[in-house]
Structure 1
Amino acid sequence: MSTAPAEPARADTPVIQVEGLGVALGGQQILSGIDVAVGPGEVVALLGANGSGKSTLVRALLGIVPVDSGTVRLFGQPLGAGVPWKRVGYVPQRLPAATGVPANAIEVVTSGLLTGRRLRPPRDARARAQAALEQVGMADKARRPVHELSGGQQQRVLIARALVRSPDLLVLDEPTSGIDIPTQQTFVDTVQRLHADGATVLVILHELGPFAPLIQRALVLRHGRLVHDGAPPHARDEHAEPGHDHTHPHADPETPGAGPTITIEVTP
């Protein structure tokens, strides 16, 4: 008896669907009762004070941390092998410390084409990685070891690593935190192009900043609960949030390695 293949997601199926989500880590409840749906083509900001659970929520959505209760679906599929992970691009705030031989920029970007099912890059991987580096203004640094790059340059490599998949869903964790203004604008321009092509974007921010013209909707977390889902807050309200961390741009450090450390990592 044959098993019928799963039906493709309908055009109106939420890209992200969360119902009753709870996450407990180390015996502490981090998230409780999160219900949210993000539709195709939306650009959504996830806001909240430090410790509100923003990064934990994103990591739960991507299956990086275990879900204690509730459900998560991406592109209509429950978390797991059924999710089309090649359609998801993720830009973490930073990556864990590298071990072994240092990777250069194009190797890190190429690793974005690897998944749990694909452990070898496709034949056109180098060309695609070079094109992604071009999008973020880093084509001339393709052969440079990432530990020799400045913080802003490392951040550009991270976003290129997500872009190389041509994702339909792009998730960014505080991409502008402590990064120079030119790099911030590179992120915004890149997201704008992706959105124009129909991509869905979820971005964690402390404040809307240069992303403000793109943000259509804001989700605000407080103490692990969703307290706002709607129009983005005005700047004055955002700064007035209890516990708000005023994260503003700084000059891109000239000292190599001043930013987040990068290592090659296979994503889901």
Structure 2
Amino acid sequence: MIITGNNNVLLDKLIDQLNRVFRMKDLGSIHYFLGVQVHHHEDGLFLNQEKYVTDLLITAGMQDCAPMITLLPLKLDKVPGQDKPFSDPSYFRSLAGKLQYLTLTRPDMQFAVNFICQKMHMPSQSNFALLKRILRYVKGTLAMGIGINANTDSTLICNSDSDWAGCKETRWSTGGLCTLLGSNVISWSAKRHDTVSKPSTEAEYRTMSAAASEIVWLQNLLRVMGLQQQRTPLLLCDNLSAVCLAENPMFHKRTKHFDVDFHYVR
């Protein structure tokens, strides 16, 4: 575009309009954003999704259901109706997807929701019974959320765990991790492994490797933000064999295949 002296007035008007469109406004302290409610207090913030949960229960027709104190039963393979397909898979997927969004402020639900989402392609009546159980648990914990405390240090601590061969169909394990910055939970995950782990040590070691990657990524993010780590991050695991394997640089016959991927944790 060629601009001459006669077009200066037009150009000034165009720039003025662009400034009006893209001008940022200070809307004050955040209180509600994308379904997440933010409550301010003198020590920091509290995040929850009480309104989102209420709308979800109304959508599911369970606003008056009886609460449940646990997410899943101890023996998932004992739930009746596992061989009978659920009549409305689209309805099941819709509720499971809404529960997945709820895990933004509910780390306690991560494993259970991950388990339900694994059944979305072909849900059974037992899977729907478990989904309703999760909704009943949510009914009894409407006000629960996640707190962010300003008066804490910046030490990274990551907890990792795995259920060995937890999937009864594929025998794949599910690995979970939870990362804290001081006393604040800042990231969490529950993900099923994509291959079978023969020993339980391998399943734990896989999750430790994923946790190590998470720690390194968070370290780099904090460094970019100007928050340099003063202490070495701590990775916690409850499997002694996996911890010893991470510390031992020797190769063993049963752990040769770990070298390409999982020894990253070292």
Bigger proportion of residues as strand: 1
Same fold (TM over 0.5): no
TM tier, smaller: under 0.3
Bigger proportion of residues as helix: 2
What TM-score comes out, normalization by structure 2 length?
0.22
Greater Cα radius of gyration, structure 1 or 2: 2
What TM-score comes out, normalization by structure 1 length?
0.22
